[in-house]
């Protein structure tokens, strides 16, 4: 399953790259892209585990950029 989410308050491209790296390491994630310019997160993960993957992705983003929010 592949979904695109809007990001809020993502302040730097370096943080976007760090988020992408951390989310990519989550079990079940097949592909991920964090686009700083468009403020979008594209994530592809196993459908039966997607909600759990997104919970972990939200936590990963908060660790890198505490003010950033994924609009789910």
> For residue 72, what pLDDT band results from cuts at 50, 70 and 90?
confident
For residue 27, the model assigns a pLDDT of 95
For residue 37, the model assigns a pLDDT of 96
pLDDT: is 72 or 43 the higher one? 43
CA dihedral 57, 61, 63, 66 (to 10 degrees): -140
- With respect to CATH, is domain 2-71 assigned 3.30.70.100? yes
> For residue 6, what pLDDT band results from cuts at 50, 70 and 90?
very high
- For residue range 11-67, list pLDDT tens digits in order: 999 999 999 999 999 999 999 999 999 999 999 999 999 999 999 999 999 999 999
Residue with tokens 């196993």: 46
């Amino acid at each position: 399953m592949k979904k695109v989410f809007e990001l809020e308050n993502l302040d730097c491209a370096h943080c976007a790259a760090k988020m992408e790296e951390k989310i990519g390491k989550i079990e079940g994630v097949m592909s991920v892209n964090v686009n700083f310019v468009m403020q979008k997160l594209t994530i592809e993960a196993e459908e039966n585990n997607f909600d759990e993957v997104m919970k972990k992705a939200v936590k990963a983003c908060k660790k890198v950029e505490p003010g950033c929010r994924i609009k789910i």
